[in-house]
């Protein structure tokens, strides 16, 4: 963000602290990454950023709740203008650091200069486009001919939803009163957004197997034991052959991937595989096939429900022509929540903000993949 976009009030804060936006921005990045310059302690960096934040809000560290609420209403937008560039980077980095995301998703970040174009290299694909709206997301199917370029996904979203926004709720009060540090403040934005994107992608992928033109040999069910080893291996081979003998990866949660140990003779596996089991709790490879773990997590506010099925393994062809296309506009906007209807009825009286980021996700269903549902029989 250009310094020209900052208000006179924010520029005066920088001047009073004898600093500049570039210096503050570098400090925010360095503190988050844990790469502070020599001679600058974590406490010094935390103190300087919190001092800047309080000055932007016109507060002291001993400000009462009523004063803080009024300050958030008056200066919240100006504060978030300062940190938005950092959240742009942390969100993009958080997405690309995930192994299964990199295996499944063709990622385009328009803010980095990427083109919002995806070529279809197969005769025909069924494109399932998901869009995130302010209160919902929905899906439509369309067919694309060979060599077609996908439409700008964000534009497709706008045609179907007035507000194609990914949202995360952020409470800044804990940071300003010292209950949370800078890293936790930024993680509150990054983690919430990355989790939302994961859920969006998997919601699309979960519905994909039923749309495969041929089910037998690609979508199978059974226990992972020596009796079914040949059948399971056949699925792996089928996915590879159907994708021009591409390399294949097996994805699943930790619990699901651990079931593959039933298919191997531990007396014959390499020492490196035994080391993988000891360090990761599971095999690193099944034969020549690489294993990719899908991090399991609980549903929001419900530790009795997990998000991903431990009894499902996914078999995907690896390579450049991936199953999911994603366009990320790449600019984070943080705004005060003004819509306090039914969806926000549980919001506390402290000012809250939503993190908005425009995106589009399209799932290609033309490439064959596999699914194995693990049963216990």
Provide the number of structural domains found in the chain.
Answer: 1
In a domain, 38, yes or no: no
pLDDT, tens digit, 9 for 90 and up, residues 334-365: 776 655 444 444 434 445 666 777 777 777 66
55 within a domain of the structure (yes/no): no
User: pTM for the complete prediction?
Assistant: 0.67
Rounded to 10°, the helix 65-96/21-33 angle is 70
172 in any annotated domain: yes
Closest to 309 measured CA to CA, from 232, 203, 211, 153? 203
> Cα–Cα–Cα angle for 20, 172, 31, nearest 5°?
45
Write the CA distances from 201 to 95, 145, 177, 297, integer angstroms: 12, 23, 36, 15
- Residue 371 in any domain: the answer is yes
Over residues 267-281, the pLDDT tens digits come to 556 676 666 665 666
> Is 157 contained in some domain?
yes
209-224 tens-digit pLDDT: 877 878 889 999 999 9
Q: At what angle do helices 8-16 and 42-57 cross, to 10 degrees?
A: 140
Q: Which two tokens mark 266?
A: 């531990």
d(CA 128, CA 203): 11
* 8 A C-beta contact, residue 37 and residue 23: no
Residue 312 pLDDT:
94
Instruction: Domain of residue 167: give its range.
Output: 104-377
> Does residue 141 lie in a domain region?
yes
Tell me, yes or no, whether 248 lies in a domain. Answer: yes
CA-closest candidate to residue 194, choices 284, 311, 328? 328
Task: Establish if 137 belongs to a structural domain.
Answer: yes
Tokens of 331: 């600019």
Render pLDDT for 89-128 as a digit per residue (tens, 0 to 9). 888 888 777 788 888 888 887 776 666 555 555 544 444 4
């Amino acid at each position: 963000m250009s310094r020209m976009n900052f208000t006179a009030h924010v520029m005066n804060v920088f001047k009073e602290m004898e600093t500049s936006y570039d210096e503050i921005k570098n400090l925010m990045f360095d503190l988050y990454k844990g790469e502070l310059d020599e001679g600058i302690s974590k406490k010094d960096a935390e103190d300087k950023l919190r001092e800047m934040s309080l000055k932007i809000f016109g507060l002291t560290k001993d400000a009462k709740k009523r004063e803080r609420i009024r300050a958030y209403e008056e200066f919240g937008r100006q504060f978030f203008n300062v940190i938005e560039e950092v959240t742009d980077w942390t969100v993009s980095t958080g997405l690309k650091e995930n192994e299964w995301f990199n295996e499944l998703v063709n990622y385009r970040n328009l803010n980095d200069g990427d083109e919002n174009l995806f070529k279809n290299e197969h005769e025909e694909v069924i494109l399932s486009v998901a869009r995130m709206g302010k209160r919902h997301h929905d899906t439509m199917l369309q067919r694309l001919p060979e060599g077609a370029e996908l439409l700008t996904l964000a534009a497709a979203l706008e045609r179907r939803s007035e507000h194609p926004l990914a949202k995360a709720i952020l409470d800044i009060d804990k940071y300003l009163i010292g209950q949370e540090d800078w890293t936790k403040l930024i993680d509150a934005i990054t983690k919430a957004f990355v989790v939302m994107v994961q859920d969006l992608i998997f919601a699309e992928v979960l519905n994909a197997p039923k749309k495969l033109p041929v089910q037998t040999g690609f979508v199978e069910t059974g226990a992972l034991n020596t009796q079914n080893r040949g059948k399971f291996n056949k699925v792996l081979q089928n996915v590879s052959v159907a994708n021009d003998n591409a390399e294949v990866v097996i994805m699943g949660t930790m619990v699901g991937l651990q079931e593959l140990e039933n298919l191997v003779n531990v007396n014959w596996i390499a020492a490196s595989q035994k080391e993988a089991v000891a360090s990761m709790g599971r095999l690193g490879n099944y034969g020549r096939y690489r294993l990719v773990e899908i991090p399991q997590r609980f549903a929001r506010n419900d530790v009795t429900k997990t998000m991903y099925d431990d009894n499902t393994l996914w078999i995907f062809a690896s390579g450049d022509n991936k199953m999911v296309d994603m366009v990320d506009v790449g600019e984070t906007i943080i705004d005060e929540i003004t819509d306090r209807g039914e969806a926000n009825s549980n919001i506390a009286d402290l000012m809250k903000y939503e993190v908005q980021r425009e995106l589009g996700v399209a799932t290609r269903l033309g490439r064959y993949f596999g699914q194995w549902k693990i049963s216990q029989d």
